[in-house]
Amino acid sequence: MLLTIILQAVAGAALGKAGAAVGAALAAFAAGYGIGKIGTAAMEAIARQPESAGNIRSSMIIVAGMIEGAALLGIIVCLLAIVIK
């Protein structure tokens, strides 16, 4: 309900579209940063314990997929805010 009211209030405003574009860019940047941090931590962990490389790698892939899913959802919501009038 609140989201509908907010979307109706900013539907005609260019400021709302600019905010949605900034939100989409922020979601993409945050996902890239998060996956970079995961990769760094995983490589450090594998360097410390090479025998558990398989477990670390599979956990890294699962978490990276979850981050990508959340970022994709954020980008889609921002793009819908731009398209819906």
The reported pLDDT for the residue numbered 85 is: 57
Query: Does pLDDT of 11 surpass 80?
Result: no
Which residue type does 61 have? I
Largest CA distance in the chain: 58
Dist CA 71 CA 67 (whole Å): 6
The per-residue pLDDT for range 18-66, each reduced to its tens digit, is: 788 888 889 999 999 999 999 999 999 999 999 999 999 999 999 999 9
The reported pLDDT for the residue numbered 30 is: 93
In the chain the domains, ranked by start, together with CATH numbers, are 14-83 (1.20.20.10)
The reported pLDDT for the residue numbered 10 is: 61
- Higher per-residue confidence, 82 vs 42: 42
Alpha helices, DSSP H only, in the chain?
2-9, 14-48, 53-83
- Higher per-residue confidence, 45 vs 4: 45
Phi/psi at 75 (nearest 5 deg)? -65, -40
